[in-house]
Amino acid sequence: MPNCRGDQAKQNLVNNNKLVILGRRNITQNNPVNCCCNNTITTGQYYIFEESNGNIFYTSKGCGRKILDLMNINVRIPLFDPLQNQIQGLGAGGAGGNDRVAGNNEVGHNLRNMTDLNKEVYLLIFLVCQGCWDLDFPQRDPLRGLLSNLIKYPTNDIFDSKVTHINNIVGACNNINSIRDYINNEIVNNPNFVDFQFPLVNQIINDTNLNNNIN
Ligand SMILES: [Zn+2]
């Protein structure tokens, strides 16, 4: 992990690297992460960055924002938080939808510069990692590259072929039958788990002859 403690270290890190931002998500239970400044983040959110050599490092919200500033990234990095507080969700979601879907909208609020399809895929990738491999984020391509591309090109809809590829990845993973099954099981264990919906992704898959492993 690089050292990013202090402003100069952050500047050096950005100067000496072609950093990529992969995403932002919440800390999962009992799974703290270390910020590159050496502080441990036990609650809340963290950013996931990739160095030129492919290594991953994490930052707190504060350190992450400073690094993003130095990278000249001005868009708000979308948040994946599967344990969305439903009241928060209602506040941001406004009218329409049930409580759980409103939770989805709160996530969407942070994704306002992304197309609706890209929003779905961004959230879906994190869910696939969690459901299929119990991972917080993708360890390798194609999912890792897809995440960074969604942030880089938020307004260009991802290709249908990438969506069906994700569907095939879920089909090949042994842990779950489908993302819908996974979500439903998680909701049984934790009523705050967001009932993510993927209407546009499902439409693309259902237009093919493939089994739908998302739904
Ligand atoms: Zn830090």
Task: Compute, in angstroms, the gap from residue 54 CA to the centroid of ligand 1.
Answer: 20
Give residue 4 CA to ligand 1 midpoint distance, Å: 7
- Longest Cα–Cα distance of the chain, Å, equals 54
How close is the Cα of 150 to the center of ligand 1, in Å?
A: 25
179 CA to centre of ligand 1 in angstroms: 33
Residues in Cβ contact with 59 at an 8 Å cutoff, skipping those fewer than 6 apart:
4, 35, 36, 37, 46, 47, 49, 67
pLDDT tens string 172-208: 999 999 999 999 999 999 988 999 999 999 999 999 9
| 59 CA to centre of ligand 1 in angstroms | 5
pLDDT over threshold 50, residue 141: yes
If DSSP codes are grouped into helix, strand and coil, which group holds residue 50?
strand
CA 165 to ligand 1 center in whole angstroms:
35
- Amino acid 104: pLDDT: 44
- Measured in angstroms, how far is the CA atom of residue 91 from the centroid of ligand 1? 29
Mean pLDDT of the chain: 86
Q: How far is the CA of 14 from the centre of ligand 1 (A)?
A: 15
Distance 48 CA to ligand 1 centre (A): 12
The confidence band for 114, taking pLDDT boundaries of 50, 70 and 90, is confident
Sign of CA dihedral 164, 165, 166, 170: positive
What distance in angstroms lies between residue 33's CA and the mean position of ligand 1's atoms? Answer: 10
Distance of CA 186 to the CA centre of its chain: 17
Strands 79-80, 20-26: pairing kind: parallel
Query: Which of 76, 1, 34, 48 lies closest to 143, judged by CA?
Result: 48
85 band by pLDDT with thresholds 50, 70 and 90: low
- Asked if pLDDT for residue 96 goes beyond 70, the answer is no
> What does pTM read for this prediction?
0.85
How far, in Å, is the centroid of ligand 1 from the Cα of 38?
Answer: 6
